[in-house]
Structure 1
């Protein structure tokens, strides 16, 4: 009969567990959701909001409308809006909760700063318009007095929402100057007011760029992509003009005009002036925006002024993944490291197996330094000296074949020259900035100490 008692115990236990789950979990969750719902100021979803009006005290209201899923500013001027900024306002608005109810709305709203609200937000969800009015902070300065729609109560909302909701016209305007993607660009033209011009076109393979005025010159694709990135990432810091004119903005005669030809025949242009002395911004005009804007002045330094700026002047052109051995001579130090497996290197030893490096990443770090190294020019007259004190670095493949080899005179401790001659294994003399070679020597010394 024991099994009958066991069944009874199981049934009782199941009933107790069900009772606990229903009343302690389900009911508690429902109660918490009901409590949160009762605190919400508006019972609408952000997807339902199609129009929004933000009125700051003493300023002209900003009217926005959602059209085909995108927000646009309708008044006080017509332009595109910063979708993320507007969505942030809408999300905060529909999720807004009452911190505490103060009571019925009094006839005299002046003590609460609501006779002339500091901020008024009206929005349409479906066919219904709603309104939120924010007044003065409470004595504790952690909340603000508020009312909503018609009638209702006077309540407090957290002060933290003020910064999100209190947005002016310029904070809601689109700030991106361009919306293209790099792979859409087929031709780039940078024309300077002094006559310098850089023109580049993308070849059919999609990865190679060519200068029509000098087709034999090798163009470094990563440099062109960086220029496109800098243009694409441009954002307005401020708006300084009215639609339809840039008179007096310094853009009647721009310092530089950038033209982008896109797939499908589309075209984009950017005009920019030189920054004023001591200024951190410069004025620019994008063909995608009808207003002159201010952007960071450092952007101008990213634009090429000659083909030299986008030319592939890489000192190191070998495939770093093919490197299996690295040999060096640096002063009294001579050595060799070999690749053990992916990401692991070892110090070569005479008649013994390589000793694994504890810091194999230093080899990769040396590769990165060489991959970024560029020469400023070439000096055909500089012959490689027969000097035993030359520093030397050799990269070999798995079979010991030479992929690349370089020699140079070590940098002096003082009075460093502006450039250093680096000789390739073919005897070509490349002029490299001394500060860059200093970094190379540092990486090599780090590897030597690690091995």
Structure 2
């Protein structure tokens, strides 16, 4: 019995020893065969050449941006080129396939299907040849130029290597800093507006002098800077070619002024069942095709750009608020705990929700129409207004005072004037119904 047990234990021990030796040998082979095909710091690379078939694309880095210099010169998409460089910077070998191959053709390595060469800032370079996919797992056959050892490298690298020239291009054709724009001139089919920026606000200069909607201006600038080409029709256009893309008489022209000046023209070409949008910039000779939505995004007529709010403010920023009714002033003020109190004509505790609700009504007041350059305020009941509102806001430590007058009511509308502007707003008069006949109704219960 003891002898039999001893033999069994000896057999188990032998199996364990052999297993350990096998694992160690396998790890040795891994260390020997599974090294790295390329190793470099991606930030040191300033030039890349990608060859595949009869195509060669060369990228060169200037400052922190990439340019395509072959087959022609244009801006490259920084993210896409950076990703290609980064993917190969620490190129791990998945498996060694053949030590000294005499038939590289079967791996797509003679001639190589793709050659990637990268230059460092010191002038030295590294290269890798990449062939076909391994039919089992999609990994790619690869080798160094100076040796015939065939390896397998990860399959995800194929995506970067097989991107088209268009994929590598910078598709943003209108690049400028939105915050540095200080004037915009927009023209379309006989309509035109001209707006300028003063401090943090935009104003229309024509067709009427008025406050512009800052949000709409920002949206317009964002639509322009965010536009991406879906194709490039002509790389270096001649004037006579503009007609072919409806750019000889563009649907919309926009001049952007600020740190530098740029003029944008967008044309809509209609053919049977197809509409195409093409655009050019005064800073380039490229005709780009853009998504059809680009036209609607930049088609902002004067009436779209004009600010319709009677007063632009946030109700929660209001610190003081007064109403003059029938010659009597009712003054409300927030205390240090942001609670509302009546200060005039007598001190009272006030229900803050009622004041806040009314302030939101004024905040939301929008013009149904405008009366520009009124001859006489008397015609609109504004010479002796029915109500006068004074709103004092505080934002980022700065106080701002807004004064609003209400005049004559006609049907469901009332004439309103913001003392900042020379024009009159015609608004819905329902907000006036929220003013109590007796301010005891706003008293805290």
TM-score where L is the length of structure 2? 0.64
* Aligned mates of 2:425, 2:237 — CA distance in 1: 56
Of 220, 227, 232, the residue aligned with 1:239 is 232
Q: CA deviation at 1:281?
A: 5.2
* Aligned mates of 2:297, 2:32 — CA distance in 1: 51
Of 141, 146, 166, the residue aligned with 1:145 is 141
Gaps of 5+ in 2: 1-26, 320-333, 340-349, 372-379, 381-390, 394-402, 418-423, 430-445
Q: CA deviation at 1:304?
A: 4.6
- Cα deviation per residue 1:315-345 (whole Å; 9 max; x = unaligned)? 6745321469xxxxxxxxxxxxxx999999x
* Aligned mates of 2:412, 2:311 — CA distance in 1: 14
* Aligned mates of 1:188, 1:90 — CA distance in 2: 39
CA contact 1:274–1:282 (8 Å) conserved in 2: yes
Over 3 Å counting, the alpha-carbon distance change for 1:316 and 1:157 in structure 2 is same
Q: CA deviation at 1:288?
A: 3.6
Of 31, 43, 49, the residue aligned with 1:47 is 43
Single out whichever of 206-215 and 303-312 deviates more from structure 2: 206-215
- Cα deviation per residue 1:153-193 (whole Å; 9 max; x = unaligned)? 2011111121123222111112122332122112101122x
Of 207, 211, 215, the residue aligned with 2:200 is 207
1:430 aligns with 2:427: yes
Q: CA deviation at 1:102?
A: 0.6
Match of 2:113 in 1: 118
* Aligned mates of 2:37, 2:364 — CA distance in 1: 57
* Aligned mates of 1:376, 1:267 — CA distance in 2: 35
Paired residues, number: 344
Q: CA deviation at 1:97?
A: 1.2
* Aligned mates of 2:338, 2:35 — CA distance in 1: 56
Over 3 Å counting, the alpha-carbon distance change for 1:342 and 1:315 in structure 2 is farther
Of 174, 182, 187, the residue aligned with 1:186 is 182
Q: CA deviation at 1:211?
A: 2.2
- Cα deviation per residue 1:49-102 (whole Å; 9 max; x = unaligned)? 221111233x42111112334321111101121122111111111122111111
Match of 2:4 in 1: none
1:310 aligns with 2:302: no
Q: CA deviation at 1:244?
A: 3.7
* Aligned mates of 1:153, 1:370 — CA distance in 2: 78
Match of 2:285 in 1: 290
Q: How does 1:26-105 map to 2 (within 5 A)?
A: 39-57=35-53, 59-105=54-100
* Aligned mates of 2:179, 2:33 — CA distance in 1: 47
* Aligned mates of 2:89, 2:145 — CA distance in 1: 14
* Aligned mates of 1:163, 1:44 — CA distance in 2: 20
Gaps of 5+ in 1: 1-30, 325-338, 345-352, 357-362, 384-395, 407-419, 433-451
For the pair shown, the structure with the greater C-alpha radius of gyration is: 2
* Aligned mates of 1:279, 1:37 — CA distance in 2: 56
Over 3 Å counting, the alpha-carbon distance change for 1:118 and 1:287 in structure 2 is farther
Match of 2:314 in 1: 319
Over 3 Å counting, the alpha-carbon distance change for 1:430 and 1:163 in structure 2 is same
CA contact 2:34–2:94 (8 Å) conserved in 1: no
- Cα deviation per residue 1:338-393 (whole Å; 9 max; x = unaligned)? x999999xxxxxxxx99x9xxxxxx99x96x99677544369xxx9xxxxxxxxxx
- Cα deviation per residue 1:271-296 (whole Å; 9 max; x = unaligned)? 11125366575111123443111222
**Partner SS, residue 312 of structure 1:** coil
Q: CA deviation at 1:430?
A: 3.1
Q: CA deviation at 1:259?
A: 0.8
Match of 1:276 in 2: 270
Single out whichever of 103-112 and 90-99 deviates more from structure 2: 103-112
Of 151, 160, 169, the residue aligned with 1:155 is 151
1:170 aligns with 2:162: no
Over 3 Å counting, the alpha-carbon distance change for 1:76 and 1:186 in structure 2 is same
1:377 aligns with 2:403: no
